[in-house]
Amino acid sequence: MKKMRIQMSVTLLATLVSAGALRAQSPWTYATYLGGVGSESDLRVATDRSGNTYVGGSTTSIGFPFTTEQLGWSSVQRTFLLKLGPSGRLVFAKTVEVSLGAMAVDPEGNSYLAGSAAGGRGFETTPGSFQATVNGGGAFVMKVDPEGKTVFSTYLGSRGSPRATTVAFDAERNVVTCGAGRAGDLPLTEDAIQKQSAQPNQPLGFCAVLSPDGSQLRFSTLFGGSGPTIPSASLVDESGDLILAGATTSADFPLKAPVQSEDPRRMLFRFDRDDETWSAVGGGLLGTVISIGFTKTPDRIFLGTDTGAQVSEDGGGSWRRLPSLAGTVVAHPGNPNYMCTGTPSLQLYCSNNGGQQWQPVILNGVRQAVADPRIEGGFYVATSSDLRYVSLAGARAPRVSFGPVESIAIDASGENTTIWAISANSLYRSQDGGVRFERMGDNFSRIFASPQFPRVLYGTRASRPTAGHPWLARSTDGGSTWTDIVTDIEPRLFWDLAIDPRSPATLFVAGDGVYRSQDGGESWTLISAGLTNGYIRALQFDPAGNLWAGAEALYNGFVARLNLKDRAIQFSTLLTGSGGSAPVSLQQDSSGRILVLGRTFSTDLPVTTDAIHVSSNPYRQDFLAVLEANGGLAQLRLIGLEGSAFARDALGRLHLAGASRMNREMAGGVRIGGSFRGGGSEGLWTVLDLETGSVVQATWLGGSGADEITGIAIGPDGMVRLAGTTSSDDFPTADPLQAKRAGLADGFLVVAPWP
């Protein structure tokens, strides 16, 4: 058996070290780049009782970390593990050709890695490991000793589906890993808490316990319902219980003594113009709404969802599933028996009997389908090869010849149909139904038109030279000339745009909420009252002029406690809102309470107290939940500081790490130290007093590029370790192991005493 490589080079390391930086000039004990000529991502950090620091992550750099290989870049991501001594000097470096899902370090300095492995030369199991071979890839678990030698490496599961997403250890140093995979691809023990899945092809949560030497599978169980379940964080407490957090879409998720039991998610909303309020329509089992369509019949609504087409005949009160594939649905306005659906695999299926049967029409490259109101059963279809016309009713199809096409809009109100098409980011127009096209402009990604105002168009820009460059353009002459719109906001997500049928200057955009402009896109207002799910995918006006919004069916967050000795669920509860939630990190305080950091697009989480910081956007918030050891909810509050990881110090304070795209002076009433230097995002380190709900200190961390803190750890030495990624050439370093950025996006490590 070949040994796992430990790749090191003193020569290359010497070229990366700059000794000129003085600690006295920096608030950091040391701060360094960590990267090669490719890119580094998803950095995690941990520490042991001796004050050593461990950094793990993903890299596409050849020659990193600090190897004898020729420097270069690879399309294959590898996992790296670094150990640095208390002074910041390198102890060992290691790379493995696997995908990292989780990392942990015990007090003695043993490192535990888990994730997924494709199999082959890049990952070799050790003699005597539980599972030495794999068919098609599977989860992996690996233990590395304090000197960097592999104690064991093993596969867990097969056939490509299992992936470990958390890893922890108990007092006897058994290794506890959780993740997701198909039930039939996972090894289960006889004493499993759950052995079967109602949906064998869906990824189900699992947890497994391996012996300290990796040779035995001591326990393994499924955990979840009929929908996907993905664990995201875990720990083993002093009693030996496993505390697990994650996300699920299952309506039948296993619950026990829950503080929240009902699925509150809502995915369809209608806007009331009079009171400026949204109201939920249709319950919570619709799935992700990708498209909304109406016909001349006022109460008939068609939805394209991630579970297939659905139709309501009573204005959204009740719904009937159609036997179709997932994707967008376009019903013909003249005769809704004719409809087409564009699938995520870029295929087009159509029906001529109201969606009862479907036939494949175009099998690849489909980008968009638009109904032609002139011809019953007629549809224009944009594909990656050309613009096509589909006639379902047997009528003679117009002759079209153009392509490839990414986005289209049509106007059928004149003598001839006008078509606007985007091809290779250039805009073209045909005024004779698609026979001839003329080029009208460049740098477009999508085009939007209003049937009521055919000469008014809006287009989104394909690229922007700077972050402040306009993202939206307007034409008032049918596309002959265009004006870039300088806007006062930019949605962090952009999915759809709708033009008000009453006024072409009134627009709505969908993304992280719904924004409205009443001046042609120059100024925007977030319309949030009653819109409890903020991840909006689709907008559409109905025949009466009412605006409808369709939302993503995001996962519901959950927290559970499993008794590993008795093989039983102690408690299991949802922790979510209308827009779902996603726990990202777990901690436990000295009294045994469970602290959960998560994110949500919901405005109706069951909060128990005021937010620590009030965000300008009520969606995409981070939250902190405190559960008693028995699962009771002690506290749930919004944080508003965009955290992605946290740790506790010896005083019980929480250190929150993350990044912000928005420059601001204050965080929870405290002035933020350092400076926001732009570049798209800046790292943000915040210290919270949980008992008072106040911010103790907040500090920007980064340079003039994009910076994000993705990992944080605090050791018994009282030092805070912050790890993340940066594209800044001027990231603040101090006594660095690597003084300069080497690639597209490097990792970084900052160590400082906690305040």
Structure confidence at residue 70 (pLDDT): 58
Integer Cα distance of 685 and 298 in angstroms:
52
Residue 605 lies in a domain: yes
Residue 339 lies in a domain: no
Best CA proximity match to 345, nearest among 371, 321, 324, 366: 366
- Asked if the bond preceding 323 is cis, omega within 30° of 0, the reply is no
Residue 293 has a pLDDT of 94
Helix (H) or strand (E) holding 14: helix 10-16
pLDDT in tens, 169-184: 999 999 999 999 999 9
What is the per-residue pLDDT across 566-614, written as a single tens digit (0 to 9) for each? 999 999 999 999 999 999 999 999 999 999 999 999 999 999 999 999 8
Do both 97 and 44 map to the same domain? Answer: yes
Burial label, 317 (beta-carbon count in 10 A; 0-12, 13-18, 19+): exposed
Whether 534 and 513 have beta carbons less than 8 Å apart is answered as yes
H or E stretch covering 10: helix 10-16
Spell out a b/e string for 141-173, using b for 16 or more CB atoms within 10 Å of the CB, else e: bbbbebebebbbbbbbbbebbbbbbbbbbbeee
pLDDT surpassing 80 at residue 202: yes
C-alpha–C-alpha distance, residues 360 and 72, integer Å: 45
Compute the C-alpha angle 662/668/672, nearest 5°.
60
What is the tens place of the pLDDT at every residue in 216-250?
A: 999 999 999 988 999 999 999 999 999 999 999 98
* Percent of residues, the chain, with pLDDT higher than 90: 78
Domain total for the chain? Answer: 3
Two tokens, residue 28: 């950091």
Domain boundary pick from 640, 661, 685: 640
Find the angle CA(429)-CA(432)-CA(437) to the nearest 5 degrees. 35
Is the pLDDT score of 285 beyond 80? no
Domain membership flag for residue 197: no
Q: Is 609 part of a structural domain of the chain?
A: yes
**First CA to last CA distance, the chain:** 49
Based on the fold, state whether residues 99 and 245 are members of the same structural domain: no
Nearest to 598 by CA among 611, 614, 586: 586
Tokens of 269: 């909303």
Q: What gap in Å lies between CA 196 and CA 581, rounded to an integer?
A: 26
Domain shared by 11 and 58, yes or no? yes
The arithmetic mean of pLDDT across residues 431-446, rounded, is 94
3-state secondary structure of 330: strand
Q: Tokens representing 740? A: 């300069």
Tokens of 685: 């380190």
Is the domain of 18 the same as that of 125? yes
- State percent of the chain over pLDDT 70: 94
Three-state DSSP class for residue 15: helix
Q: In this structure, is residue 693 part of a structural domain?
A: yes
Going by pLDDT thresholds of 50, 70 and 90, the confidence category of residue 108 is: very high
Q: Are 536 and 550 in contact (CB under 8 A)?
A: yes
> Cα–Cα distance between 534 and 526 in angstroms, integer?
11
Given this model, what pLDDT does residue 295 score?
87
Residue 231's domain comprises 224-261+555-640
Tokens of 360: 């494949």
Which of residues 227 and 549 earns the better pLDDT score? Answer: 549
> Of 618, 640, 662, which one is at a domain's C-terminal end?
640
Residue 420 included in any domain? no
Mean pLDDT of the chain: 91
Say what the pLDDT of residue 15 is. 30
Cβ–Cβ under 8 Å, residues 593 and 616: no
In whole angstroms, give the CA distance from residue 98 to residue 207. 20
pLDDT band at 9 (very low <50, low <70, confident <90, very high): very low
DSSP state of 13: H
Which pTM does this prediction carry? 0.87
- For 119-156, the pLDDT digits (tens) are 766 789 999 999 999 998 999 999 999 999 999 999 99
480 part of a folded domain: no
DSSP symbol at 302: E
The answer for residues whose C-beta is within 8 angstroms of residue 707's C-beta and 6 or more apart is 659, 679, 681, 682, 683, 701, 724, 725, 726, 727, 728, 731, 748
Are 633 and 697 found together in one domain? no
Q: Provide mean pLDDT across the span 555-576.
A: 97
- In this structure, is residue 267 part of a structural domain? no
- 23 and 124 in a common domain: yes
Last residue of a domain, one of 133, 167, 189: 189
Q: Which two tokens stand for residue 99?
A: 């995908």
Contact of 417 with 398, CB cutoff 8 Å: yes
Asked if pLDDT for residue 362 goes beyond 90, the answer is: yes
Q: What is the mean pLDDT of residues 251-265?
A: 93
Closest CA to 98 of 82, 115, 121, 112: 115
Query: Do residues 128 and 244 share a domain?
Result: no
pLDDT of residue 13: 33
